[in-house]
Amino acid sequence: MLLAGCSSTSTELQTTGVDVERAFNASRDPWAAPTGLTFPSQEYGGANVLRDAGSRSTEYPGLAPAKVARLEIAAALESGWTLASVACAEDPRYTAVLTKGEDLDDSVLAELTVEGPAAGVSLQVPHHLDGSWPSTTPVALDETCLAAGQLNEPPTDLPFDPYPGDGASPSLDDFDPWQRDSLSDEENALMEQILADPLLAAAGAGINVTELGLRTGDTWRAALTGGASVEVQAASTRAAVSQVVEDSDWVLTWAACGAGRQTEATLRIPVEGGTITARLTSTRRDTVEVSLGLPVPEAPLTYAQIEDVPALESSRCLGSEPLGSKVLLEGIPVALPNRLHPYLGQ
pLDDT at 9: 44
Strand spans (E) along the chain:
41-42, 49-50, 52-59, 82-89, 93-100, 108-115, 118-124, 206-208, 221-222, 225-231, 251-257, 263-271, 274-284, 287-293, 328-331, 339-340
Q: Is the model more confident about 135 or about 26?
A: 26
Convert 218-235 to b/e letters by CB count within 10 Å (16 or more is b): ebbbbbbbbbbebebebe
pLDDT at 212: 60
Confidence of residue 305 (pLDDT cuts 50, 70, 90): confident
Q: Is the model more confident about 19 or about 304?
A: 19
CB 181 within 8 Å of CB 203: no
Confidence of residue 217 (pLDDT cuts 50, 70, 90): low
Contacts of range 100-106, beta carbons closer than 8 Å, 24 or more positions apart: 100/29, 101/133, 104/22, 104/130, 104/132, 104/133, 105/18, 105/21, 105/22, 105/25, 106/22, 106/25
pLDDT single digits (tens) 112-131: 999 999 999 999 999 888 88
pTM across the whole model: 0.89
pLDDT single digits (tens) 34-93: 998 888 887 665 556 788 999 999 999 999 999 999 999 999 999 999 999 998 888 889
pLDDT single digits (tens) 146-186: 886 565 565 544 544 434 444 445 555 555 555 666 777 87
Does 257 have pLDDT greater than 90? yes
